[in-house]
Amino acid sequence: MIAKVIVDVPVKQTDKPFDYFIPDSFLPLVQPGIRVVVPFGPRKLLGFVIDIEEESQLTNLKEIESIIDHEPVLTDELIELGDWLSKTALCLKISAYQAMLPAAMKASYKKYLIITDGKELNERWPGCLTFLTDYENKEWAQILKTASQEEISIIQKALRENMVALEQVVHDKSTSKKIKMIRTELTKDDLQKAYDQLDKRAKKQKNVLAYFLNEDHGTPIPLTSLIKKADAGRSAINHLVDKGLLIEEEVEQLRDPYAHSEIEKTTPLPLTNEQQGVLEPIVQDIEEDKHQVYLCHGVTGSGKTEIYMQAIDKVIKQGKEAIVLVPEIALTPQMVHRFKGRFGSDVAVLHSGLSRGEKYDEWRKINRGEVSVVVGARSAIFASFKKLGIIIIDEEHETSYKQEENPRYHARDVAIFRGRFHGCPVVLGSATPSLESYARAQKGVYKLAPLYNRINQQPLPEVMMIDMREELRSGNRSMFSKPLFSKLTDRLEKGEQSVLFLNRRGYSTFVMCRDCGYVIECPHCDISLTYHRRQGRLKCHYCGYEESLPDRCPSCESEYMRYFGTGTQKVEEALTQLLPEARVIRMDVDTTKKKGAHEKLLKAFGDGKADILLGTQMIAKGLDFPNVTLVGVLAADSMLHLPDFRASEKTFQLLTQVAGRAGRHHLKGEVVVQSYTPDHYAIVDAGAHDYQGFYQKEMYARHQRQYPPYFFLTLITVSHPDFPKVVDVTQKITRFLKQKLTNKAMILGPVAPPIPRIKDRYRYQCMIKYKNEPDLIKILKECQNHFQEAYTKDALKITIDINPYLLM
């Protein structure tokens, strides 16, 4: 039998299955979807078995060397999905398969030194074997650290002449956690006898046996708990194990990041008529195994999550499984608790806050069928469930559902692929659907499922627009307008809570010289550095470069270097000055770096330990605090002027989300939005809670400027350390595309992108706008292969992004 294997080499030449002979002893073990180790040239590599056939066209096949998994890690469906991804997202099959699995399952490769010709070595370098035999079978990386320069130079020469070799060994990084358990197989009578026979002085051993006599003695107990409960030491237990009275075993334990949180069980709520109307057709599809995409457009607080949970309930009762995607920043403890509260240990959770081992364990629960629901960020869409009954994508408009590295997939597209495969509904939910999805719903491609009212008919909060230009004209130079400040003071007096939202991070966005206008930029990327006050350092958000703040302007030596822009730290400082009695919690990338910090800060706010929650994007979503009656948006237009055709859409979405945080319960909510362009429709319509109005205006603008959803986009970015080369190649690519695509396709560029250099690599782009290009994928592949090949030794990189979300 022959196994078709995709090997772990991320280059185009190996992007196809290779045939390997399956040795007889492995026959019962090898099946599609497992990982194996195979010889590949001089190396050993990890590979995925994607198929098994009886014959091969090739002769002289090599054999599979060893087997890593005893159960498939990829189902037949996922194998097919990987193939589809490689075609639609222009990625390598190996990257598609790796993206489906937790990082812990990526192989690591280590090289070990072996001596192949000792006799020859001794003749060339007499005496060299004394140190070489020491190094034999040691890891090459270690040898490099310890060996002398002379020794290394000999080894390198010997390598070239094949007298020694480096053997590559594949390590599977996935590790499971094991704990020691103690149990006994003796009857109570026999235990009692053993107890009586023990010497009086063996007090600790007696304690241990007494534990097993008193407690339910048949149940194994973790060693660490036994030590505590029996007031005994490790050695006492060892003695008893040695005597054969107790048995010690290692048991695999799944790490459960939520083991210690107490989550109250909830039951389904009686639905409103509106909710019922949305749920019914979905349930019907679940019962009939029918695929259909729903767009659930419901204002914040309209009870979408309750609908999701009741649909999932149906799915579970049918013995099927559910995937719920939530954007990473909305994967707040609150959201997780709602699902854990309803479905208990039947839920696996996947998000970036978990350790590598925890993620691996959550994944294994899914793969073994120990859970039926997964709640997770983007990559949870690949959960290896076998009987999917529903896929839900909450906040479907979030751009984080598109992966910005290979494979550049969009979770929504993958969801629809899987929904078709399993014959199950896909529910996209949002208060502010993406224009693309809403347009599809208008055309009937998706089924629109609207919710117009908030639960209990609570009104949406009133939004007050403040023109900051006028504030400035009337002499107010602070970052708080007069109305916002007086409302903050009012809430403070009443003991109600406020949320302040700022769409920026750091202390200020950039540092500029007031005399000559010089802005400090990253020496490797053409972008200004951000000042972080706590460390007093300037940082590049693209490459991580840091430096300390200069005393004088590097250009004119002036001492007047100033921080511009408003960051969360600066707002926090202003608050402490203006409202010294207010207790403020700040949440941004810097204060939530530590594991669990996010949860802690939110809990503190929820427990009323602060009056004001100040933060960035991460507080815009999913938070639900009853005591919040005021939401302030400090700089509503900070996103409006980004060089991105979605800038208005993103601004509208964000403002709507933020506004939805206020007055979600019995207290009435108010929203204050500060802006320098209060007349822009994205801001006006968000203030009026008018999605339809915004949709129509924005669709008109997209039509005028020929952008999605009227046209599709593909963005090609070329990068290289040498500027003329980048321009030259991009020009050639543009010409190539003009020749090959239909004359209806528009090819824009080549142009320099808004960030023309990142990590010392210049960048150049061209953009294709098109409606219908049947050969597009084929032509793009051709283009990539042709130009990439011509310049491989030059480190030239060509990135092709189909349906891009990041235009910088």
Contact residues: ligand ADP, CB under 6 A: 269-272, 275, 298, 300-306, 455
Work out how close the CB of 302 gets to ligand ADP at its nearest, in angstroms, rounded to a whole number.
4
Q: Is 787 helix (H, G, I), strand (E, B) or coil?
A: helix
Compute the distance between CA of residue 371 and CA of residue 391 in angstroms, rounded to an integer.
Answer: 15
Q: Which of 331, 427, 522, 807 binds Zn ion (CB under 5 A)?
A: 522
Which of ligand ADP, Zn ion, none is residue 269 near (CB under 5 to 8 Å by kind)? ligand ADP
232 binds Zn ion (CB under 5 A): no
Stretch that binds Zn ion, among 102-110, 555-563, 645-653, 719-727 (CB under 5 A): 555-563
Which of ligand ADP, Zn ion, none is residue 730 near (CB under 5 to 8 Å by kind)? none
3-state secondary structure 244-302: CCCEEEEEEECCCCCCCCCCCCCCCCCCCHHHHHHHHHHHHHHHHCCCCEEEEEECCCC
Which of ligand ADP, Zn ion, none is residue 525 near (CB under 5 to 8 Å by kind)? Zn ion
Q: Which is nearer to Zn ion, 545 or 676 (CB)?
A: 545
Compute the distance between CA of residue 524 and CA of residue 774 in angstroms, rounded to an integer.
Answer: 40
- Alpha-carbon torsion (649, 651, 655, 658), positive or negative: positive
522 is in an annotated binding site: yes
Task: Report the relative pairing of strands 712-720 and 18-21 from DSSP bridges.
Answer: unpaired
The neighbour count for residue 438, using CB atoms within 10 Å, is 25
Compute the distance between CA of residue 718 and CA of residue 737 in angstroms, rounded to an integer.
Answer: 14
699 binds Zn ion (CB under 5 A): no
Q: Which two tokens mark 282?
A: 């979905």
Work out how close the CB of 330 gets to ligand ADP at its nearest, in angstroms, rounded to a whole number.
10
91 is in an annotated binding site: no
Which of Zn ion, ligand ADP, none is residue 540 near (CB under 5 to 8 Å by kind)? Zn ion
Which of ligand ADP, Zn ion, none is residue 642 near (CB under 5 to 8 Å by kind)? none
Stretch that binds Zn ion, among 271-279, 353-361, 385-393, 520-528 (CB under 5 A): 520-528
Which of ligand ADP, Zn ion, none is residue 669 near (CB under 5 to 8 Å by kind)? none
255-287 as b/e: b if 16+ CB within 10 A: eebbeeeeeeeeeeeebbebbeebbeebbebbe
230 binds Zn ion (CB under 5 A): no
Work out how close the CB of 301 gets to ligand ADP at its nearest, in angstroms, rounded to a whole number.
4
In contact, 578 and 485? CB cutoff 8 Å: yes
Distances from the Cα of 738 to the Cα of 711, 744, 783, 802, angstroms: 17, 10, 11, 17
Distances from the Cα of 567 to the Cα of 501, 508, 532, 573, 754, angstroms: 11, 5, 9, 10, 22
Work out how close the CB of 652 gets to ligand ADP at its nearest, in angstroms, rounded to a whole number.
17
518 binds Zn ion (CB under 5 A): yes
513 binds Zn ion (CB under 5 A): yes
Query: Binding string, 317-346, against Zn ion, x = CB under 5 A?
Result: ------------------------------
Work out how close the CB of 270 gets to ligand ADP at its nearest, in angstroms, rounded to a whole number.
6
Which of Zn ion, ligand ADP, none is residue 298 near (CB under 5 to 8 Å by kind)? ligand ADP
The neighbour count for residue 804, using CB atoms within 10 Å, is 21
Q: Which of 12, 524, 537, 665 binds Zn ion (CB under 5 A)?
A: 524
In one letter, which amino acid is 745?
A: A
Q: Which two tokens mark 437?
A: 């999805």
Q: Which is nearer to ligand ADP, 29 or 269 (CB)?
A: 269
Q: Which of 107, 312, 325, 553 binds Zn ion (CB under 5 A)?
A: 553
Q: Which is nearer to Zn ion, 553 or 671 (CB)?
A: 553
Q: Which is nearer to ligand ADP, 148 or 457 (CB)?
A: 457
Which of ligand ADP, Zn ion, none is residue 275 near (CB under 5 to 8 Å by kind)? ligand ADP
Mind giving me the DSSP string for 647-663? HHHHHHHHHHHHHTTS-
Compute the distance between CA of residue 148 and CA of residue 170 in angstroms, rounded to an integer.
Answer: 27
525 binds Zn ion (CB under 5 A): yes
Which of Zn ion, ligand ADP, none is residue 310 near (CB under 5 to 8 Å by kind)? none
In contact, 449 and 295? CB cutoff 8 Å: yes
Q: Which of 90, 155, 286, 540 binds Zn ion (CB under 5 A)?
A: 540
* Edge-to-edge strand ranges of the sheet holding 221-222: 221-222, 177-183, 247-253
525 is in an annotated binding site: yes
Residue 748 φ then ψ, to 5°: -100, 140
Work out how close the CB of 625 gets to ligand ADP at its nearest, in angstroms, rounded to a whole number.
11
Beta bridge partners of 465: 673
Q: Which is nearer to ligand ADP, 70 or 666 (CB)?
A: 666
Which of ligand ADP, Zn ion, none is residue 301 near (CB under 5 to 8 Å by kind)? ligand ADP
543 binds Zn ion (CB under 5 A): yes
Work out how close the CB of 563 gets to Zn ion at its nearest, in angstroms, rounded to a whole number.
14
Stretch that binds Zn ion, among 6-14, 123-131, 152-160, 533-541 (CB under 5 A): 533-541
766 is in an annotated binding site: no
Q: Which is nearer to ligand ADP, 272 or 403 (CB)?
A: 272
Q: Which is nearer to Zn ion, 161 or 760 (CB)?
A: 760
Please, what is the Cα angle at 548 between 543 and 554, to 5 degrees? 95
Residue 756 φ then ψ, to 5°: -80, -10
Question: Residue 645: CB partners within 8 Å, gap ≥ 6?
Answer: 702, 705, 707, 708, 807
Which of Zn ion, ligand ADP, none is residue 306 near (CB under 5 to 8 Å by kind)? ligand ADP
Q: Which is nearer to ligand ADP, 86 or 497 (CB)?
A: 497
Q: Is 27 helix (H, G, I), strand (E, B) or coil?
A: coil
Which of ligand ADP, Zn ion, none is residue 271 near (CB under 5 to 8 Å by kind)? ligand ADP
Distances from the Cα of 48 to the Cα of 45, 106, 167, 313, 683, angstroms: 10, 11, 21, 35, 50
Compute the distance between CA of residue 563 and CA of residue 565 in angstroms, rounded to an integer.
Answer: 7
Q: Which of 478, 535, 558, 785 binds Zn ion (CB under 5 A)?
A: 558
Work out how close the CB of 771 gets to Zn ion at its nearest, in angstroms, rounded to a whole number.
38
Distances from the Cα of 783 to the Cα of 295, 328, 790, angstroms: 36, 34, 11
Q: Which of 26, 140, 542, 645 binds Zn ion (CB under 5 A)?
A: 542
Residue 269 φ then ψ, to 5°: -90, 150
- Alpha-carbon torsion (619, 621, 627, 630), positive or negative: positive
Q: Which is nearer to ligand ADP, 365 or 454 (CB)?
A: 454
In contact, 168 and 41? CB cutoff 8 Å: no
296 is in an annotated binding site: no
Instruction: Catalog residues that contact Zn ion under the rule CB under 5 A.
Output: 513, 515-516, 518, 522, 524-525, 540, 542-543, 545, 553, 555-556, 558
Annotated binding-site residues for Zn(2+) read 513, 516, 522, 525, 540, 543, 553, 556
| Residue numbering of the annotated binding site | 513, 516, 522, 525, 540, 543, 553, 556
